[in-house]
Amino acid sequence: MRRVEIFDTTLRDGEQSAGVNLHLPEKLEIARALVAYGVDTIEAGFPASSPEDFRSVQAIAREVRGVRVAALARSLPADIDAAYEALREAEEPRIHVFIATSPIHMEYKLRLSPDAVVERAVASVLHAKRYVSDVEWSAEDATRSDWDFLVRIVSAVIAAGATVVNLPDTVGYVQPEEYAAMFRYIMERVPGAERVKFSTHCHDDLGLAVANSLAAVRAGATQVEGTINGIGERAGNAALEEIGVALHVRRDFYGVETGLNLRETVRVSKLVSRLTGFPVPPNKAVVGANAFAHESGIHQDGVLKHAATYEIMSPELVGLSSNRLVLGKHSGRHAFREKLAELGLSVTEAEFEELFRAFKELTGKKKTITDDDILALAFDMAHDGERLEIASLQCSFGSHVIPTATVSLRVPGEAPRLESATGKGIVEAVYNAIERLVGGPIELLDYRLQSTSEGPDALGEVFVKVRWHGLVSTGRGVDSDVVLASAKAYVDALNRILIREKTLGDRANTLNEAGVEVAALAPSSDARAGDAEGTGTRAEDSPASGPA
């Protein structure tokens, strides 16, 4: 049976979702979860885009084993050099280079002739091959490119040594039949096509990213690129969890297999959701809360008689099972350590003790501790060190009382600050107090509260999206007190913005030292690292390039 490799770009293309800004410990946690999930390649980032991205790729390359680690680079020697330096300690490094091939991109963005684009593509592959044996080449906006030109340029990069050829649907425009036909057309006409992997990379602007990816596999593609939960720029990317399950459930149709450990599907989905602050819709295929729920009486009757009447796969296939270790106030260290291993959480001894203390505190508030509770505690424990932190929170509210909040905030290098404020509700009062403490204005763009489990003693989990200093970020907070959880989420979002401001400042300083104009680096909600398939800027040679 033909094997299809899974290329995960959650940490690169997925992080380009508006408002997402993952810390390095969070990226490492996701990378380790992806290894447990069984992906073949992790695209860890775009090293040339910023010092922070360089450090992230470098850390993942150094610390994560059992997987190929890729780094993105434009078709520029400096980008490729940076990618290699970041990947130097990787077990299996891959440099991923790209250039646009559609007429509109070549004329208006690159301002290069087709001949010059072919020349630059070949030069980039040759330069990357000086460092690594595994080089992926991508044709940005392939689905709006001339097919005969694609045959020409793909033939050239394969001759130069490319080991993977990626044909992305950069703008989510193509239809499944068209995408499959394009793959067949190129693979049938390119000399040496059988020696390389052909890859898909689909965006979801028309809701067809998964369908297009599957169509390409049917046409002969041997690598699929995507993200967990389909996160990414604009409408997102192809959702890998949906593709993985579809290829497994319908292997009779596709005739392929992957190396995915599907029992890790729900776990990695929840991890990415929590760390990015993007909740999974209840009706989402495979991992949504309602994916295996049956409301209709007819459906319920059928499932009770035989699950296959309305379920094409079992919940256990993707990691949903009721036969799990249940923890409570009498559980000891051994059981807790076993639970962490079951959940795929790797912690140091010091982190274990801190987590166990938090667990014991929680057992005083809750009778039964769920897996989600443990995950929430673990994610809440991970932080960057230099950060704003809630020192104390006092609230006064009621049916005939003006909601008032007094917040004490720890600021790195300073004594705690104290401020009070009122609001229409207690959460607004808390946020107004925090705004006074840090110097507003702060715009709350989204607020969501959900329970991590069932019952009145469940932990409250709050997701927020805020705009501050012209930057947008998400934040997450967990606590048995939903007001405190709301405060934690708000401060978490502010911390992410502070980190991002520092990253942009580091990047601006680096570019200034190199004599590059950095006016385009003014903070905005769109100030992201480069797109997987393109820079979206007028001049590709500018290191200040942003996303498409």
Q: Is 203 annotated as a binding residue?
A: yes
Q: Helix (H, G, I), strand (E, B), or coil: what is residue 378?
A: helix
Q: Helix (H, G, I), strand (E, B), or coil: what is residue 447?
A: strand
The candidate with the shortest Cα–Cα distance to 201, out of 465, 531, 512, 452, is: 531
Question: Are 11 and 27 a contacting pair, CB within 8 Å?
Answer: yes
Give CA–CA dist 230/531, Å, rounded: 15
Q: Is 212 annotated as a binding residue?
A: no
Q: Which two tokens stand for residue 297?
A: 């009486």
Non-local (6+) Cβ contacts of 66 within 8 A are 35, 91
User: What number of other Cβ atoms are within 10 A of residue 164's Cβ?
Assistant: 24
Q: Which two tokens stand for residue 146?
A: 């001339």
Q: Which two tokens stand for residue 391?
A: 């020192």
Non-local (6+) Cβ contacts of 484 within 8 A are 390, 393, 477
Q: Is 13 annotated as a binding residue?
A: yes
DSSP per position, 209-262: HHHHHHHHHHHT--EEEEBGGG--STT-B-BHHHHHHHHHHTHHHH-EE----G
Q: Is 334 annotated as a binding residue?
A: no
DSSP per position, 488-505: HHHHHHHHHHHHHHHHHH
Q: Which two tokens stand for residue 466?
A: 């805020």
Share in percent of the chain as helix, strand, coil (round to 5): 45, 20, 35
Give CA–CA dist 359/348, Å, rounded: 16
Q: Would you list which residues are annotated within the binding site?
A: 13, 201, 203, 237
Q: Would you list which residues are annotated within the binding site for Mn(2+)?
A: 13, 201, 203, 237
